[in-house]
Structure 1
Amino acid sequence: MKRHELNNRVAAVLAGFALVLPIARADSWAPPTPTAVASDDGSLVARILPGERHDQAAQAQVFRYSAADDGYVRIRNIALRNPVLPLEILLGDDGTLVGIDNYGAMGSGEVLVVYPPDGEPRIHLDLASIVGEDALADAPRSVSSILWRCHPSRLSYDGKAVMLYAQPGLEIRVDLHDGRVVREPTDC
């Protein structure tokens, strides 16, 4: 085989890889669907309805159990700040709703939003504010997302903070009243 034929074949193989690699690294998101979450004591349930990206943001319907009605009664609707859907929702026994991450763009925009019982957003933080600039720079990425979380989030046992677990090895406590962020090393 002549040298120029070999160079042409190598160029063709490299061009093929150039076409395949971006596809292999692309994200795939299933269509958003409604979801629900209950408070730990079961007295509250929130139903989360996806938004329509540009037309309407995501919505949360919050229900409280009523013994008189022997069922759940809607107590409020909340217009969420997520354009499509939060990826994770937590609901405190007091009615505080916490939305974490954004559907289709994990790690982008307002990554954490806290809605106290009145439904008006109190805290909204981006990823750099939560994990810090160094951890943000080291976080793995895909085409559409920053893959920063390594474990599911939870509310603290006292219900006063949300606990987040981030790569590379951070346990993060965000105060639900004032948004104060405390980072501690952990296994992730």
Structure 2
Amino acid sequence: MRLLGPLFVGTILSVGPLRADSWTLPTVVTYMSSHGQARAIVTPRDLDSQMTYFEDKVKGVEPAGQEKSGAPAANAELQRKQNGRWVVAWKAPLTNDVAPVDAIIRNDGAYFVTFDDWHSLGHGPNAVVIYGSEGERIARLALVDIVPANYIEVLPHSVSSIHWRGDPRFSRDGKHVVIPVPIPSEKFSTPRTVDLAISLADGSVSPLDSAAWKKAVEATSLVRTARMAEARAVREAFFAPLLGPRENTQRHWHIYLREAVARLIGDGNTPSTTVLRSPGEPDYAVSESWIREALLEPTGDKVALATLSESNLARTLAKIAPKITPDSLSQTTIFVAVSDKYWSDIVAAMRPTGAKLVQLNPSIPLEQRQERIERRYGSSAAGLLQSDQGVLGHPAGSVALLAGVLCIFLAGFWMACRRYRRPS
């Protein structure tokens, strides 16, 4: 498999797995009660465009993205059915910036409840807003008013949203709105949920099943601990000298290539990465075509190659090189993850192409670049590591890390010289 463009590999403790977002411009929506006796028509604030909205948010311009001649605020009109006709009970502005994401209305129209803000599910003060029989606001809850902050940390997140709930409903007695909340888990399957009830009278929150809620909170602690450990491992790996992957798989070699090249020449010069499979694998042939394509039709001026079988990579390059026009790769740098045993064979095979070859010897540790440390963790990176609840719990660990960071300045140039072994 060939990978093009930047690849981010890491763990974000506070958000867990990140998902993609897709939001269309809000439109007028009618929410009907379950028995069809009441409805609420929600009209969003009019936006010029999504792009204008995002640009204004970045610039701090409010109301962001407002269409000049459009509705300046979101509003709702609640109607009840009387003698077969819809009669307006009330019309009032909503607290949402643009529009709610969802809403439900009780059959008698006495309560109307909205959920979240357009384009920011789970964020802000409008996670749940309860309106009364005349449009008055009874309660307004942020997500932290519903579940603890540490619970929020381990819920599924996307770029703009926190996926904190399933479809809300009214309780059988009509006195509460019931919201299924995901139980945090390390698995990527559809999560189990636990029901929380919010009083329509005053917005107070309570679990329907106290024992189930207690287990959900306990699960939160376990997941958070696991993610903290994973985050520490990722951070420590980022600081540690880089060696070849422990697992001889395509995925791990792609990760190694990206990180190794970044440590050599810095971020912003991401090459395409191509990994040659082992000859005995049933889908080997296609991986050889990837190598051929990477060399005959490079997508940029940098290419990175690795393999699950070093001897086979040397043979494959020797077979492909004669098909490459002499000196046609003179403007291309090719990084090759291979040991010293096969490096000279690869240099000899590729010399006619004119490519600049750079060896990535998996057995030689490659130190992290200081500017990458500062970019990711700040100039006081060592202090940040100490703050991560035990990552450097022992004083000796702090000293060791500080020494390691300082050594990057001294060892970086020397290690780079060892890595940049150009053909003579």
Is this a same-fold pair by TM over 0.5?
A: yes
CA–CA separation in structure 1 for the residues paired with 2:21 and 2:135: 32
Question: Larger strand proportion, structure 1 or 2?
Answer: 1
Partner of 1:48 in structure 2? 42
Root-mean-square deviation (CA), in Å? Answer: 2.3
Q: Deviations over 1:85-114 (max 9, x none)?
A: 111111012321000111100001120000
Q: Is the 8 A contact 2:104 2:112 kept in 1?
A: yes
Which AA in structure 1 matches 2:27?
T
**Which protein, 1 or 2, shows the higher relative CO under an 8 Å CA cutoff with sep ≥ 6?**
1
**For 1:131, what is the secondary structure of its paired residue?**
coil
CA–CA separation in structure 2 for the residues paired with 1:167 and 1:152: 11
TM-score, reference length from structure 1: 0.80
Asked if 1:79 is matched to 2:93, the reply is: yes
Moved >6 Å (runs of 4+): none
Partner of 1:155 in structure 2? 170
Q: CA deviation at 1:29?
A: 0.4
Partner of 1:16 in structure 2? 6
CA–CA separation in structure 1 for the residues paired with 2:106 and 2:114: 12
User: Which consecutive residues of structure 1, in runs of 5 or more, have no partner in the other structure?
Assistant: 1-12, 19-23
CA–CA separation in structure 2 for the residues paired with 1:25 and 1:135: 18
Partner of 1:128 in structure 2? 144
Q: Is the 8 A contact 1:163 1:174 kept in 2?
A: yes
Q: Is the 8 A contact 1:102 1:108 kept in 2?
A: yes
CA–CA separation in structure 1 for the residues paired with 2:174 and 2:116: 20
TM-score, reference length from structure 2: 0.37
Partner of 1:93 in structure 2? 107
Decide which of 174, 177, 185 is 2:201's aligned counterpart.
Answer: 177
CA–CA separation in structure 2 for the residues paired with 1:29 and 1:93: 29
**For 2:89, what is the secondary structure of its paired residue?**
strand
Question: Larger helix proportion, structure 1 or 2?
Answer: 2
Q: Is the 8 A contact 1:50 1:59 kept in 2?
A: yes
CA–CA separation in structure 1 for the residues paired with 2:85 and 2:140: 32
Decide which of 105, 112, 125 is 2:128's aligned counterpart.
Answer: 112
Partner of 1:166 in structure 2? 181
CA–CA separation in structure 1 for the residues paired with 2:118 and 2:147: 19
Q: Is the 8 A contact 2:37 2:108 kept in 1?
A: no
Q: Is the 8 A contact 1:135 1:167 kept in 2?
A: no
Q: Is the 8 A contact 1:37 1:89 kept in 2?
A: yes
Q: Is the 8 A contact 2:89 2:134 kept in 1?
A: no
CA–CA separation in structure 2 for the residues paired with 1:25 and 1:131: 21
> Matched residues, percent identical?
32
CA–CA separation in structure 1 for the residues paired with 2:137 and 2:156: 29
Which AA in structure 2 matches 1:41?
H
Going from structure 1 to structure 2, the CA distance change for 1:94 and 1:143 (only over 3 Å counts) comes to same
CA–CA separation in structure 2 for the residues paired with 1:31 and 1:139: 26
User: Which consecutive residues of structure 2, in runs of 5 or more, have no partner in the other structure?
Assistant: 9-17, 48-62, 67-71, 184-192, 217-424
